[in-house]
Amino acid sequence: MNSRVESLALPGQLAGRTAIVTGASSGIGRTTAALFAGRGARVLAVDLNADGLSELADQVAQPDSFRTFTVDLTEDDAPDRVVHECLDRFGGLDTLANIAGKAGDAPLEDTSDDDLEFFLRVNLGTAFRLSRSAIRNFAESGGAIVNTASTFGLVGVRGSAPYSAAKGAVTSLTRQLAADVGRRNIRVNAVAPGLVATPATQAKIDAGVFDDVVTRSRPLPRVGAPADIANAVAFLASDDAAFITGVTLPVCGGWSTTRFRE
């Protein structure tokens, strides 16, 4: 793990948990998978990028409790394959972190039906379908699901119609699943990241693309780090959040809840 993740490790916070973490080859998903492992969970790290997963496995270096699985989560049988892999490797499942997703900028009038379908399939469909497979196989004692929404799904942001709509649907899915499975002692929450420096966003951050819409209107001055989001995911997955369900937690430096001007 890198020094940022190591400094945030709370040994034992997730001890005894068995978790699937998607989107684990880079960015937020990679840090979340490493952080889960550092806090005691058995982790199946899932992504389409086999090379990224291999690098992560070398970094974590816990072969008995950390495994990787390469799959395209949009394939019809992918959710069941992922869950069965976890059950085969670790003998159980009680935690799911749906990190995988895809951002993009497009106004409504420039969005094709194929564009809309893509963003719904990747951001909403993968979380919906994998949650369904996981819930069917959770232990009788219950478990936790943490979805990844977005601050763009909480407020209106010009020029992001298909992405914002899909992420808004993730927030609604989180509330609905919490209602559906709460009596089975399964908690369902979400994080809504703001602007986070990842391989997917760094070039735009460096170019100042987000300066007007995000940076100058956010109270906290720095850009988010993947560990900021991973910490929130770990909290919601842990017993520290044992009486929290149906919540979408913004992790955005105050951008979604305040308006700040310099």
In the chain, the largest separation of any two C-alpha atoms, in whole Å, equals 54
Say if CB 93 and CB 86 are below 8 A apart.
yes
What values do phi and psi take at 62, rounded to 5? -130, 75
- Quote the crossing angle between the two packed helices 161-181 and 126-137, to the nearest 10°: 20
Quote the DSSP letter at residue 216: G
Upper half-sphere CA count for residue 146 (Cβ side, 13 Å): 29
Token pair for residue 166? Answer: 């899909």
Strand, coil or helix: 260: coil
Assess whether 230 carries a catalytic annotation: no
Going by C-beta distance under 8 Å and a sequence separation of 6 or more, which residues neighbour residue 110?
none
Separation CA 124–CA 150 (nearest Å): 12
Marked catalytic residue, from 163, 169, 177, 198? 163
Say if CB 192 and CB 171 are below 8 A apart.
yes
Q: Provide the annotated active-site residues.
A: 163
